[in-house]
Structure 1
């Protein structure tokens, strides 16, 4: 009986040897506290194919109306033709074309590429002020989506309503990494000016908060790589666990018989 017991003890020892460094996020964070306070969030910049909502208001709202797209009614529910359909009001969107422009009422073609929300608001406000006194311009990017794939609990593509989305928050939307995900090698893929770029972030190291990829942009893809044991298990037969259990029982029976 000594051999099965020894094998069991070895198995328990191997499975329990998981380093804290492999699973704990943002180690040595206290040493970086000053730099974390100084870290600037990357403003979300407008890109071609983005969808924007822009609302212009003013003390004299009638003067601001020509600078707004018509509000459309979106159906919420309905039945057969001829019956009343419930609707909700929704702003129409501006599609940023391949040259980074939108067609804005009265003003015509406006280049918006590379601007963040506040910069575009200020730019439009400056032009509209020639026609309207004290205009207020509210801009929003409505197609902010990120995809989180790999060793997470709920992979998928997520709509983001906030202006800023950090990598840990995106992982939170996906239910966090599974215990089999590599926290030291998280891939972020991005497209900038028609060029695909990427970076690997080590989330066990607090230095990762200083990466330009720590705050995500629209259409970023996050991929969490499986760790070594999980990769190796992919090559195993799905019934391998059953076979190992049967083999263990047979070995124990043989040991008892030959004792």
Structure 2
């Protein structure tokens, strides 16, 4: 029969093996040490790229004068089962597709270079050109195909559409249900396609409050986020990830058995 001291030591070791330091788990540590980011808009980094789909609406005091500068409405499409699409009868505004040269074909104005601009810059550019035809035009630009993909050690991996074009890394991880307990919080990979079609990437540390100063903190359209499994998870890839829990429970049961049989 096992000696009580041996059982107690085994139980203590099992508890210690399951302990994780605060520095490994807690997000945004030393938040009070963040430097002022200034008044720069987060949208300044959201650049338009080839293959983006843009929703552009032009309005004015005299709406009839703005009509020629808007694409016609089309019947909306609704998703059915097994990827089936059907017309739902709701009119929606058509999108502009940015071609490989980073251009769109705009009514009346013709070919407009848009790649490399953010929404604010494109709105200002179009407003200046349309002002030659109508007074005080209002131009609203939106990126319609804004979506991000989140993979790895998160609760609900997948591709998520974004409607407001304001998506920080923590908010994106929230869409995926946050990291699992087995995800590496200090090494979050963000992969981004630049306007030249090349891939850029960065590793971000969720436990570091200075993460907010990274240009990758606010995500852009089609970014991919990957959460690596932690070291113990990699080492135990071929084992049951709940093994440590089972060992702890077994230790408690053995300890109780020893105490009851003394």
Mark yes or no: TM-score above 0.5. yes
Contact 2:57–2:140 (Cα < 8 Å) also in 1: yes
Question: Secondary structure, in 3 states, of the residue corresponding to 2:219?
Answer: coil
Partner of 1:114: 116
**Which segments of 5 or more consecutive residues in structure 2 lack a partner in the other structure?**
81-86
Is 1:230 equivalent to 2:228 in the alignment?
no
Aligned-pair distance for 1:161?
Answer: 1.1
Partner of 1:211: 214
How large is the Cα RMSD of the aligned pairs?
2.9
Contact 2:18–2:244 (Cα < 8 Å) also in 1: no
Partner of 1:27: 29
Aligned-pair distance for 1:48?
Answer: 0.3
What does the per-residue CA deviation read over 1:114-169, in whole Å, with 9 as the maximum and x for residues that have no partner?
11111111111111111112211111100110111111111111111112211111
Aligned-pair distance for 1:40?
Answer: 5.2
Question: Secondary structure, in 3 states, of the residue corresponding to 2:18?
Answer: helix
Report the number of matched residues: 246
Which region of structure 1 is more displaced relative to structure 2, 230-239 or 178-187?
Answer: 230-239
- Distance in 2, matches of 1:75 and 1:183, equals 39
Equivalent in 88, 99, 102 of residue 100 of structure 1: 102
Question: Secondary structure, in 3 states, of the residue corresponding to 2:201?
Answer: strand
Which region of structure 1 is more displaced relative to structure 2, 34-43 or 168-177?
Answer: 34-43
Partner of 1:146: 148
Partner of 2:84: none
Aligned-pair distance for 1:5?
Answer: 3.3
Partner of 1:81: none
**Under a length normalisation based on structure 2, what TM-score does the superposition of the two structures give?**
0.84
Equivalent in 4, 7, 11 of residue 4 of structure 1: 7
Equivalent in 181, 186, 191 of residue 184 of structure 1: 186
What does the per-residue CA deviation read over 1:187-226, in whole Å, with 9 as the maximum and x for residues that have no partner?
0001101110111011111111111111111000001111
Contact 1:76–1:88 (Cα < 8 Å) also in 2: no
Aligned-pair distance for 1:41?
Answer: 2.3
Partner of 1:89: 91
**Which segments of 5 or more consecutive residues in structure 1 lack a partner in the other structure?**
79-84
Change (3 A) 1:240 1:26: closer
